[in-house]
Structure 1
Amino acid sequence: MAAAGQVVVGVSSSLAGLAALRTAARAARHSGRVLVAVHAWEPPEGEVLYVRNPDGAWAARCAREAAARLDRAFEEAFGGTPLEVTVVRRVVRARPDRALCGLAAHPDDLLVLGARAGARRAAVRRRVSAHARCPVLTVPAPAFAWRERRALRRAMARDFADFAAG
Structure 2
Amino acid sequence: MKTNVFLALMMTMSLSAQQTLQLEKNQESPKASLSEVSLLAGHWKGEAFGGMTEEIWSPPQGNSMMFVFRLMNDGEVTFYEIGHILQQNETLILQLKHFNGDLKGWEEKDETVDFKLVKIEDNKVYFEGMTIEKMDKDHVNFHVLVSESGKEREVIFRYERVKT
TM-score above 0.5? no
Q: Which has the higher strand share?
A: 2
Q: Which structure's relative contact order is higher, taking Cα pairs within 8 Å and 6+ residues apart?
A: 1
Q: Which has the higher helix share?
A: 1
Smaller-chain TM-score bracket: under 0.3
* Structure 1 length-normalised TM: 0.22
* Structure 2 length-normalised TM: 0.23
